[in-house]
Amino acid sequence: MRLELVMNECRPVDKLSNQEIQLSLDSAKALIELRPPIKICIILSMYISELLREIYKRLDFEFEEREIPELSDGDIVKAIIHASALRSVSPRFGVQSIMSEYQINLMTEQASRRVAKRNRRARDREIS
């Protein structure tokens, strides 16, 4: 495998196409999931943050986000666990408040799904 580093071709995030931003974001997040050395994680995290700020500015960007109702039951449980873990370390206020709101919304969705399932089962029993 050959690796060539050409530094004069670097482009700022605002010069990347939407497709290049999505590829960069997906790749950087995947690399962080692999838990590389901390120095690499720091650089990747800063780059992810820069990419997300650029995405937020672009009205034409179709960010592949999933609203809470689109999550599976298993993903809701995982998100609640991660949000709880993040809040347990008492991060700065903005993170605390947004995680609290997200966690409440996740738990509300989870509860409404349970009620809907119970109601379906009760209705099915009445029909039988």
pLDDT, residue 37, reads 94
Inter-residue contact 63 to 90 (CB < 8 Å): no
Q: To the nearest 10°, report the CA torsion of 89, 109, 48, 32.
A: 60
| Average pLDDT, 10 consecutive residues per value, the chain (128 residues) | 71 91 94 94 95 94 89 95 89 86 95 94 86
pLDDT, residue 126, reads 87
pLDDT, residue 65, reads 84
Tell whether 88 and 113 lie within a shared domain.
Answer: yes
Name the pTM for this structure. 0.69
Look at the chain and report how many structural domains it folds into. Answer: 2
Tell whether 74 and 103 lie within a shared domain.
Answer: yes
Identify the domain containing residue 122 by its residue range.
Answer: 67-128
94 is a domain residue: yes
Tell whether 106 and 117 lie within a shared domain.
Answer: yes
Tell whether 46 and 81 lie within a shared domain.
Answer: no
pLDDT, residue 9, reads 73
Tell whether 51 and 79 lie within a shared domain.
Answer: no
Tell whether 91 and 128 lie within a shared domain.
Answer: yes
pLDDT, residue 105, reads 95
